């Protein structure tokens, strides 16, 4: 059963929250982070991406980057850009993006649950990214960015969260991408105890986004436990920062694909080969798939609709039935030579928030030869696969809106 607990968040005062809030570290490169922070000295990117305060020639994984992050977090505290709550609390975080509204609980999850499998994973981590997060967390002595978790619908939890947001929020602001952010502080001991008890009856949490942060938190815990002869299991480093959402609150967008070349095919031979596995028909406009096992393809200035032949989807297999698997196994690998999409440099991935227009632009620019628009992976597919202890192909899900960093930080000491 899921163990969660409240914590004393380090967070901005109300008037600074809009200035501090920043997108997660891993949705941008260094130059984009520099541009986003701009002249704003209170942007949390100075903590989450401290390389923006160093010369461009500095390796973003160098020791001095982590030292700079430690210095910047201390600066935020000394300037009272971040203040620590006096007592442990839960927090309710709501985001609104157009018609999409998601409301989750900000809490600390237990490293033991991650290790034991109560928290289910669906992605492999890369050793270099995991190591970088370990060093980052250890240097800051804090989980500075939350992991994005979900759980199967639970009316009791949803009713309790709904009751917690009846009062005016502590924070309410809209970021320049049009997403509104609201935060409520849950300090009442009775309500804290009730929420803790409700989650103790939930058998499984699922990682939506943040596999590297989760794995890094577990490794930092192990380092500190091994270095602490008085370890009790109750120390803050045994827990890590999460925002946990009911499944019906979340919105997955597609993660589209673009490939640099046709792997020796001409346009004509490629279309012929695709037609052996997919029902292929030209389209007059950009194709946004509206059902499972259907795809859009943009090639040589023209859009096509693809419908997978019925025998391509093994509905009994939680991995093979995914659209990303069907495209990979029956087109990208055999026809385009994309043997490992995790490492192959000829393929790139485009988050659905950019729309199919971005796919068309990339191909028309000459950077890529062909693009594929996807139908989004379903939340139930993610959970079913995780329950089977299976791994999704890379870049299978794109969650929107993105959690903002800097609104709550969990100190490990």
Whether residue 223 is found in the same domain as residue 103: yes
- For residue 394, name the pLDDT band (cuts at 50, 70, 90): confident
User: What pLDDT is stored for residue 222 in this prediction?
Assistant: 98
- For residue 184, name the pLDDT band (cuts at 50, 70, 90): very high
Q: Does the residue 21 lie in any domain? A: yes
φ/ψ of 207, rounded to 5, equals -75, 120
Whether residue 188 is found in the same domain as residue 325: no
User: What pLDDT is stored for residue 27 in this prediction?
Assistant: 87
Q: Does the residue 385 lie in any domain? A: no
Residue 95 predicted with pLDDT over 90: yes
Whether residue 92 is found in the same domain as residue 129: yes
Whether residue 128 is found in the same domain as residue 190: yes
Helix (H, G, I), strand (E, B) or coil at 335: helix
Q: Does the residue 114 lie in any domain? A: yes
Whether residue 95 is found in the same domain as residue 212: yes
- For residue 176, name the pLDDT band (cuts at 50, 70, 90): very high
Q: Does the residue 370 lie in any domain? A: yes
Residue 165 predicted with pLDDT over 90: yes
Whether residue 261 is found in the same domain as residue 220: no
Whether residue 308 is found in the same domain as residue 234: no
Note the pLDDT tens digit of each residue in 266-278. Answer: 999 999 999 999 9
Mean pLDDT computed over every residue of the chain = 96
Residue 280, number of CB atoms within 10 A of its CB: 15
Residue 376: DSSP 8-state: P
Domain extent for 191: 4-251+401-411
Confidence (pTM):
0.93
Percent of the chain having pLDDT more than 70? 100
Note the pLDDT tens digit of each residue in 291-337. Answer: 999 999 999 999 999 999 999 999 999 999 999 999 999 999 999 99
- The residues, ordered by sequence, that sit 6+ positions from 387 with a Cβ below 8 Å of its Cβ are 120, 204
Give the CATH number, domain containing residue 369. 3.30.1760
Note the pLDDT tens digit of each residue in 39-91. Answer: 999 999 999 999 999 999 999 899 999 999 999 999 999 999 999 999 999 99
Whether residue 204 is found in the same domain as residue 342: no
Residue 164 predicted with pLDDT over 90: yes
- For residue 147, name the pLDDT band (cuts at 50, 70, 90): very high
What whole-number distance in Å separates Cα of residue 170 and Cα of residue 290? Answer: 39
Residue 126 predicted with pLDDT over 90: no
Residue 365 predicted with pLDDT over 90: yes
- Residue 169, class by beta-carbon neighbours within 10 Å (0-12 exposed, 13-18 middle, 19+ buried)? middle
Whether residue 334 is found in the same domain as residue 357: yes
- Counting every residue written for the chain, the total comes to 413
Residue 143 predicted with pLDDT over 90: yes
Q: Does the residue 391 lie in any domain? A: no
- pLDDT mean over 146-173: 96
Q: Which of 173-187, 319-333, 390-404 has the lowest mean pLDDT?
A: 390-404
Q: Does the residue 384 lie in any domain? A: no
Whether residue 77 is found in the same domain as residue 218: yes
Whether residue 245 is found in the same domain as residue 259: no
Q: Does the residue 396 lie in any domain? A: no
User: What pLDDT is stored for residue 361 in this prediction?
Assistant: 97
Number of domains in the chain: 2
Enclosing H/E stretch for 296: strand 294-299
Note the pLDDT tens digit of each residue in 202-215. Answer: 999 999 999 999 99
Whether residue 172 is found in the same domain as residue 231: yes
């Amino acid at each position: 059963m899921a163990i969660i607990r409240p914590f004393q968040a380090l967070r901005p005062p109300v008037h600074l929250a809009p200035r501090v809030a920043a997108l997660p570290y891993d949705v941008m490169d260094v130059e984009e982070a520099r541009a986003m922070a701009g002249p704003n000295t209170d942007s949390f990117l100075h903590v989450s991406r401290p390389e923006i305060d160093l010369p461009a020639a500095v390796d973003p994984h160098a020791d001095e980057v982590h030292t700079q992050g430690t210095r910047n977090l201390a600066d935020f505290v000394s300037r009272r850009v971040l203040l620590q709550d006096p007592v442990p609390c839960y927090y309710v975080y709501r985001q609104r993006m157009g018609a999409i509204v998601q409301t989750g609980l900000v809490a600390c999850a237990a490293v033991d649950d991650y290790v034991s499998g109560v928290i289910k994973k669906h992605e492999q981590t890369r050793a270099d990214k995991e190591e970088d997060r370990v060093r980052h967390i250890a240097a800051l002595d804090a989980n500075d960015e939350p992991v994005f978790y979900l759980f199967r619908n639970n009316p009791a939890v949803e009713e309790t969260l709904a009751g917690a947001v009846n009062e005016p929020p502590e924070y309410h602001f809209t970021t320049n991408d049009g997403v509104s952010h609201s935060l409520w502080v849950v300090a009442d001991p009775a309500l804290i105890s009730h929420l803790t008890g409700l989650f103790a009856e939930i058998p499984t949490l699922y990682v939506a986004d943040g596999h590297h942060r989760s794995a890094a938190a577990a490794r930092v815990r192990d380092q500190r436990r091994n270095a602490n002869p008085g370890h009790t299991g109750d120390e803050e480093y045994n827990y890590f920062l999460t925002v946990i959402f009911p499944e019906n609150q979340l919105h997955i967008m597609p993660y589209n694909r673009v490939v640099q070349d046709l792997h020796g095919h001409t346009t004509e031979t490629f279309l012929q080969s695709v037609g052996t596995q997919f029902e292929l028909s030209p389209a007059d406009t950009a194709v946004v798939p509206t059902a499972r096992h259907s795809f859009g393809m943009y090639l040589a200035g023209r859009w096509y609709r693809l419908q997978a032949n019925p025998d391509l989807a093994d509905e009994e297999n939680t991995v093979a039935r995914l659209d990303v698997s069907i495209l990979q196994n029956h087109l990208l690998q055999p026809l385009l030579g994309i043997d490992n999409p995790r490492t192959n440099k000829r393929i790139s991935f485009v988050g659905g928030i950019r729309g199919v227009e971005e796919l068309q632009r990339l191909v028309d620019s000459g950077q890529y030869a062909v693009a594929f628009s996807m139908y989004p992976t379903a939340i139930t597919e993610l959970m079913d696969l995780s329950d089977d202890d299976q791994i999704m192909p890379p870049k299978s899900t794109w969650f929107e809106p993105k959690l903002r960093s800097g609104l709550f930080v969990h100190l490990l000491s």
